[in-house]
Structure 1
């Protein structure tokens, strides 16, 4: 309806409409053209009269101006939409609908029919009248694919509207596929799926009693009802559907997965148990990728499910352990490919799992883990500008390159919001797990030949020079301050625990270090402090010198200065240990002093081991870092990540066994 030549309704007409005063309304209307009078939102006089429940004026307008009956406002609402939202379907409105039945199916800009609006607003009497007149409208979908029945389930209010819509004689239209009895939703959303979202067994039972055919429908993206209940971990819903509609477990969704596969994507052992109770032959369920339930659980990192599956009857489970999908990947391949460290750890420790199987790319699980770690490292080292370019390219192409192996697979065209970086920690941890259990042994000669130190690039060298210069200056400043303010001895000779300074300007304190031990500690402190000061100053001078000379010498200067700065830090820490020993030399706190000394000695050895890497050739250092990094990742995974997950599950399992035995 075009409002370009319309006029705005005057306030006086509003008053007559509110009061349903027909006579003064008629007199006032003589000055205007009724068809052209609208509100700012495009409502006609009939819209306004119906919204106020002014039946006399509405009847008059319908008789005198028939064009208003089918007029629509700026949102394309008819007067029946307004009446349904207001919950006021007067006898006049009913008679107009009787003469114009097409109004029942008219939709507004949202795609809502009057029945949609009545359901949304919760007007039961209006819903009853509308659905009796046109039952099929209960299954009409709006722009978001929601039918009135879907909305009634979604609102799930105790107003009786759901029961009214379920008891209609109409049935949901479906698309038949190749003459089969199973259908798919034409365009909208299934009311059963809405009940599953609500996790309401009561509504599921109502639908099963009134419209059981709705459970046979499939959503294009969500699959059938059992697919959806399994994917969101709705245990009671899965139990109900397996009991009432067991056959739906043998259907695949658009991605080619059975409901049991979606159950394995969700970290719920209880749901998988329900499937295996009825279908104790898991090897028969293969998706379109040729993957069994162990493939899916491992690929999605569900360690609890993997552990549960491995404990089942060996006759049923053994065929799953080393089975290959269409790409030749075993469950262990998929766990390593996606950086699922928990699942990989459980699988690789099972003696029945063969870690030497190669896929179609001729890669073992360890080879896959090694490749994925390189991809993760490459992504980690990229700049933000480079990553932004990749996201832009990913968004335009909608596809990913080889570096996508660690990312979540998508079945539809991806966008920049779907772009995800590889899980660096997951990739490195998974590689470390397989390194300890399955990695091929290399000789020392192979390690040296395959590991060579490469000189850093110019920009990287410049950055290292700047960082080392800052550290060298900081160390020089700290050691200079330490030389001026010498450590203090806590004297036990005086009753007031007076502290004696070791400054040469205070001669009466020299008696505090008459003992050879105290003098030796002070000499050691001064020696280390002066050594650290000079070493850091020399390193700073060399670094400054690189800015005035040929850049070809910069990598060597950086390497040499790194050794000196590292040595100065090492000596500064050792000097601090001497200072602490001096401070505790006159103390009576023996236990405290022992603790400090023991901790200091431990850290001294740790610092010594770390500093030794600075002195070794780069090739040996890289080999040590490669080996030690596996220990670091493995220990952190075992003690933190895996421990946090395994221990609570174990305690829960013990508690459940005790409760079941006592019961």
Structure 2
């Protein structure tokens, strides 16, 4: 294309543009490398005067596509040039707005031209969020909403996905039989649910309630996606309209309650069970119920909810197709905290056998203590278990935990106990130092005769107050840490000792940090006017913080905070169960 022609179309210089065409009318038929005409360029940059000049000279350019199959109308709709779309459409139809209802089929062909992706001008307007253009096109030709592109996407689907409520309502009102399909066999309702457009979903359900049962190419309904995303509000709304969708399985044999259990969405499971109390009986192709799936994915909160829900009681001892109950599965997967919940529930049958004649205890003798050493040791133990497994569900030929793994556990626990002895010494030392510091106040005491005799001289100093606070915190944390270590060694089973150790280590770290702060503030309180001592105290304290932080970071690498939290939560649950079971 002639550079002068391109630049004048791009800039909107209609006078120069006319001069060029008057000198050489054939310039108008030149193309860019992508086979865009001058009309494509003028439309893209929104110059209506140049567009009108080109159209008046050569109307056939309106339907000429470029290499992507886009006509100038496609380009105008994509970039949202409403004035140009309005002008070109009116010129094409050659009539006023009040006569739109009498448009001939030949005239509409121009509007319904598709590009290489099978997109119409309405697809382009909706995909790019140009509401005004989309509404205008729908007024002219409501049947534009009935076309799907190469990916199977309808304008209604695009509007639902992008959250364009006004366009969606316009499509539904102007064309009730509009196409609603989307990519991968999804519908507009799938898109609304996945993108969490609740208002869009409500609009679709008013006009096209049948979409609630339609599944995509994977067999997944809108309810399935809502359950997977944990959107309990959408789940509740969909089930209010039709409870049968809770029993629809996808092509892999999973139901909405299964996917909710795998993702840990307790609120979704609660809604499904409330509307469909027997949905807990659904199993996947391997015979797994929601409790099996929750255990396999380590969703302890779902396990607790299922154990506390009367409607799901039947899942507690339900075997899969290999005869494995949830307890068997928790044993194989070494889900320590889940094993605790199951063992404390009196309804769990500890003697249940799978089809190989094995109880959970026979699969792993260590279930009697229902605990593993630590998450780091678990990484070393798990491969030895899975080495015996053929597939995810073909289990339990003759699975036994190797003596080597058990020995590794015992050695690891012994190591933690030795470290605990050292930590106990540190905690005791901090307790001693902070206790002594509390009675050896910076600045000394008032020895003068009077009512203030024996009181600290610096009691009104802010640094002194911080010294008292941090010294108290350090002593308290170190005493608790020492008690935890002693309690863990005396009252806990060996494999649970690791949790007491990590708790004591965290408290000891707090005590060390507080001791460092007490040292800094004590120096500042005693010698407030000595700048070099303030600087020295700050440097020493900062170095102390860094060293203790590095030590703690090495310690944290050995443990998992969620694992430790679950341990203490499990103890609280155990205490709760004991209180409930008291006569």
TM range (shorter): 0.5 to 0.7
Distance of 1:168 and 1:645 partners within structure 2: 57
**Per-residue displacement from partner, 1:180-230 (whole Å, max 9, x unpaired)?**
xxxx96734322122223434322221111222222221234711111111
Q: Find 1:285's aligned residue among 261, 282, 298.
A: 282
* Aligned residue in 2 for 1:46: 39
Distance of 2:289 and 2:299 partners within structure 1: 14
**Is 1:37 matched with 2:34?**
no
**Per-residue displacement from partner, 1:547-589 (whole Å, max 9, x unpaired)?**
xxxxxxxxxxxxxxxxxxxx9xx99x99xx99x99xx99xx96
Q: Find 1:192's aligned residue among 189, 192, 215.
A: 189
In structure 1, the gaps of 5 or more residues are 1-5, 175-183, 388-400, 410-439, 453-566, 611-626, 651-663
* Aligned residue in 2 for 1:71: 64
Distance of 1:278 and 1:370 partners within structure 2: 41
**Per-residue displacement from partner, 1:617-640 (whole Å, max 9, x unpaired)?**
xxxxxxxxxx83454369879993
SS of 2:249's equivalent in the other structure is: coil
**Is 1:251 matched with 2:248?**
yes
- Report the Cα offset of residue 135 of structure 1: 4.5
> Against the structure 1 CA distance between its residues 114 and 293, is the aligned structure 2 distance closer, same or farther, given a 3 Å change threshold?
same
* Aligned residue in 1 for 2:85: 89
**Per-residue displacement from partner, 1:115-144 (whole Å, max 9, x unpaired)?**
122113433343134335654553655576
Distance of 2:335 and 2:57 partners within structure 1: 70
Residue pair 1:13, 1:25 contacting (<8 A) in 2 also? no
What is the 5 A alignment of 1:145-544? 146-157=153-164, 160-169=166-175, 171=177, 187-221=184-218, 223-313=220-310, 316-360=311-355, 363-366=358-361, 380=380, 402=386
Distance of 1:252 and 1:198 partners within structure 2: 22
Residue pair 2:317, 2:349 contacting (<8 A) in 1 also? yes
After the TM superposition, which of the residue ranges 145-154 and 254-263 deviates more from structure 2?
A: 145-154
Residue pair 2:190, 2:222 contacting (<8 A) in 1 also? yes
Distance of 1:328 and 1:101 partners within structure 2: 65
SS of 1:255's equivalent in the other structure is: coil
Distance of 1:18 and 1:334 partners within structure 2: 75
Distance of 2:29 and 2:392 partners within structure 1: 58
SS of 2:277's equivalent in the other structure is: coil
**Per-residue displacement from partner, 1:521-548 (whole Å, max 9, x unpaired)?**
xxxxxxxxxxxxxxxxxxxxxxxxxxxx
After the TM superposition, which of the residue ranges 123-132 and 77-86 deviates more from structure 2?
A: 123-132
Residue pair 1:291, 1:325 contacting (<8 A) in 2 also? yes
Q: Find 1:642's aligned residue among 562, 566, 576.
A: 566
> Against the structure 1 CA distance between its residues 123 and 317, is the aligned structure 2 distance closer, same or farther, given a 3 Å change threshold?
closer
Residue pair 2:176, 2:207 contacting (<8 A) in 1 also? no
Distance of 1:13 and 1:209 partners within structure 2: 50
Distance of 1:70 and 1:644 partners within structure 2: 72
Distance of 1:186 and 1:157 partners within structure 2: 18
> Against the structure 1 CA distance between its residues 208 and 366, is the aligned structure 2 distance closer, same or farther, given a 3 Å change threshold?
same
Q: Find 2:498's aligned residue among 632, 640, 655.
A: 632
- Report the Cα offset of residue 353 of structure 1: 0.9
Residue pair 2:151, 2:183 contacting (<8 A) in 1 also? no
Distance of 1:124 and 1:113 partners within structure 2: 15
> Against the structure 1 CA distance between its residues 238 and 48, is the aligned structure 2 distance closer, same or farther, given a 3 Å change threshold?
same
- Report the Cα offset of residue 56 of structure 1: 3.1
Q: Could you say which structure has the larger radius of gyration? A: 1
RMSD, matched Cα: 5.6
The alignment's TM-score, normalised by the length of structure 2, stands at 0.59
- Report the Cα offset of residue 645 of structure 1: 5.3
Distance of 2:572 and 2:20 partners within structure 1: 76
**Per-residue displacement from partner, 1:438-470 (whole Å, max 9, x unpaired)?**
xx9x9xxx999x969xxxxxxxxxxxxxxxxxx
In structure 2, the gaps of 5 or more residues are 94-104, 394-399, 409-417, 442-470, 503-560, 575-583
Distance of 1:311 and 1:381 partners within structure 2: 31
SS of 1:149's equivalent in the other structure is: helix
Distance of 2:248 and 2:242 partners within structure 1: 11
Distance of 1:165 and 1:648 partners within structure 2: 56
Distance of 2:8 and 2:292 partners within structure 1: 72
Q: Find 1:60's aligned residue among 31, 56, 63.
A: 56
* Aligned residue in 2 for 1:397: none
- Report the Cα offset of residue 270 of structure 1: 3.2
Distance of 1:281 and 1:29 partners within structure 2: 80
> Against the structure 1 CA distance between its residues 216 and 639, is the aligned structure 2 distance closer, same or farther, given a 3 Å change threshold?
closer
- Report the Cα offset of residue 295 of structure 1: 2.2
Distance of 2:90 and 2:380 partners within structure 1: 68
> Against the structure 1 CA distance between its residues 371 and 108, is the aligned structure 2 distance closer, same or farther, given a 3 Å change threshold?
farther
Distance of 1:48 and 1:96 partners within structure 2: 19
- Report the Cα offset of residue 287 of structure 1: 2.7
Distance of 1:25 and 1:369 partners within structure 2: 89
